[in-house]
């Protein structure tokens, strides 16, 4: 990759994150973290190489809570933290260290599933309701 390529990628990322942050703020959210994958096609065409701006790739949180110092993930991070608390990550780490298959995911309670659904739904409704 050339310096010119790198600078072009960073310019693309900067424009995207600015636009996304603006849209999210208009719908009452902030993005704490995310990931962008970039690709270079034949002929030097640069593109985003994966989905982005979704609760499965990024970590949106309600601004109203964040302004009061509270982080409430409306993304897969909420689910990830539940599995960590349940000890599942430790089980996976041990299995992988022993070169064994990952253990099956533990069952989530109906209350937890309902909360996951509530958070994803709130984000989706807010995100989709703002006109650009």
> Does residue 127 have a pLDDT over 90?
no
Tell me what the mean pLDDT of segment 58-87 comes to: 94
List pLDDT tens digits, range 38-56: 787 777 778 777 777 777 7
Q: Angle at which helices 76-85 and 88-97 pack, to 10 degrees?
A: 80
pTM for the whole structure: 0.78
Q: Nearest Cα to 85, choosing from 106, 66, 110, 102?
A: 106
Beta-carbon contacts of 112 under 8 Å, excluding residues fewer than 6 positions away, are: 82
pLDDT at 117: 95
CB atoms within 10 A of CB 126: 17
Beta-carbon contacts of 78 under 8 Å, excluding residues fewer than 6 positions away, are: 72, 115, 116, 119
């Amino acid at each position: 990759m050339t310096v010119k390529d790198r600078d072009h990628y960073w310019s693309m990322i900067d424009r995207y994150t600015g636009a996304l942050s603006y849209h999210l703020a208009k719908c009452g959210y902030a993005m704490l973290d995310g990931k962008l994958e970039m690709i270079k096609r034949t002929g030097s065409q640069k593109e985003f190489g994966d989905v982005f701006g979704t609760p499965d790739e990024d970590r949106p949180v309600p601004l109203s809570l964040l302004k009061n110092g509270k982080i409430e993930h409306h993304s897969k991070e909420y689910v990830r933290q539940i599995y960590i608390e349940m000890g599942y990550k430790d089980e996976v780490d041990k299995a992988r260290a022993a070169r064994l298959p990952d253990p099956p995911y533990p069952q989530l309670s109906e209350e937890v599933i309902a909360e996951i659904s509530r958070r994803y739904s709130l984000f989706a409704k807010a995100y989709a309701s703002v006109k650009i």
